[in-house]
Amino acid sequence: MDTKFNLKEIEKTFVKYGKENLNQGIVISIKDEGLIFNIGGKIDAFIPKDEVENFSSMKIGDRFSVVTMGKKNEDGLVLASQKKAAKIELENQNARNIKLGESFSCVISDVKDSGALVGKLGDYQIIIPEDEICSYRQVNPKSYLQKKIEAIATSINTEEKRIIASIKILDDRTRAANEEVFWRTNFVNKIVDGTVKRFVPYGAFVDVGGVSCLLHISNISSKKINSASDVLELGKTYKFRILKFDRENKRVSLGYKQLNNN
């Protein structure tokens, strides 16, 4: 046997079965530690037992999809995974079912130089342009990396398997709904829970039910303070009293010292 020739052929075949390629094949042997799986190339693949769904029910001749993992085992067989293939196929099905204007979720895996967010659903690429991330504040696109987001599909190209989407449309709808509930259910003197979101020289802005409310420094403490941060912590939730409630102009003033002896 010409070993040099065979190694060269193996390497040629391996290139075809790089990382995360989806391939159809057939079980040709069952071992205690996994399956030998033919994917139609010069060499066979090996699927470790823990990468097989229902390993105990597998039979020689079973056909299904696998994902090649871009490396080989000690016997020179390309490693593959049935579980990852099943996940990709499910995501592909979910992506095909997405309609324009519908919401869906995905994990952001990359950020383009343009600031656009990039994710994947199976073989589908999800792209969220930077100006479709947020409408009411500046954000750092890289802060979304590896985070699961929910967005609305604004353009779908099934041939190229690409979906353009918007986070801000869905976010704006949610904020509008939250604001409507806020203005219908609150009133002067009501005690509310609010989260300190931002300090300013004249006090702080507090999130109450998705609505930004002003907490003036004069309403934080009965004692003299130089900053809201002398009494409150950023990101922490406290109870406040609504002092002013102007629905027409969308302005709310809160009081903290009115509920606390400080």
Per-position pLDDT tens, the chain of length 262? 444 444 444 444 444 555 667 888 999 999 999 999 998 766 689 999 999 999 999 999 999 999 998 888 888 889 999 999 999 999 999 999 999 999 999 999 999 999 999 999 999 999 999 999 998 888 999 999 999 999 999 999 999 999 999 999 999 998 899 899 999 999 999 999 999 999 999 999 999 998 999 999 999 999 999 999 999 999 999 999 999 999 989 899 999 999 986 6
Q: Check residue 18 and give its pLDDT.
A: 56
Number of compact structural domains in the chain: 3
Report which residue type is found at 210. G
Q: Check residue 253 and give its pLDDT.
A: 97
Q: How far apart are CA 51 and CA 82, in angstroms?
A: 6
pLDDT in tens, 198-254: 999 999 999 999 899 999 999 999 999 999 999 999 999 999 999 999 998 989 999
Sign of torsion over alpha carbons 186, 187, 188, 189 = negative
Q: Check residue 261 and give its pLDDT.
A: 64
Nearest Cα residue to 214 out of 252, 163, 166: 252
Q: Check residue 105 and give its pLDDT.
A: 95
The three-point CA angle 128-132-138 to 5° equals 115
Q: Which long-range contacts (CB under 8 A, 24 or more apart) does 83-86 make?
A: 83/51, 83/52, 83/53, 84/20, 84/51, 85/22, 86/53
Helix or strand (DSSP H, E) at 15 = helix 3-16
CB 146 within 8 A of CB 156: no
The three-point CA angle 181-186-187 to 5° equals 150
Q: How far apart are CA 37 and CA 206, in angstroms?
A: 59
Q: Check residue 114 and give its pLDDT.
A: 95
| Residue that finishes a domain, picked among 87, 113, 134 | 87
**Cα separation values, 51 from 69, 79, 159, 176, 187, Å:** 11, 10, 30, 45, 57
Q: Check residue 11 and give its pLDDT.
A: 46
b/e map 241-253, b = 16+ CB within 10 Å: bbbeeeeeeeebb
> 104 and 76: one domain?
no
> 204 and 233: one domain?
yes
| Residue that finishes a domain, picked among 55, 87, 119 | 87
The CATH number of the domain holding residue 135 is: 2.40.50.140
What is the span of the domain harbouring residue 214?
A: 186-255
| Residue that finishes a domain, picked among 28, 56, 87 | 87
Q: Is position 178 within any domain?
A: no
Residues β-bridged to residue 126: 119, 163
Q: Check residue 19 and give its pLDDT.
A: 62
Secondary structure (3-state) at 184:
helix
Q: Check residue 136 and give its pLDDT.
A: 81
The neighbour count for residue 212, using CB atoms within 10 Å, is: 15
Q: Is position 124 within any domain?
A: yes
> 102 and 83: one domain?
no
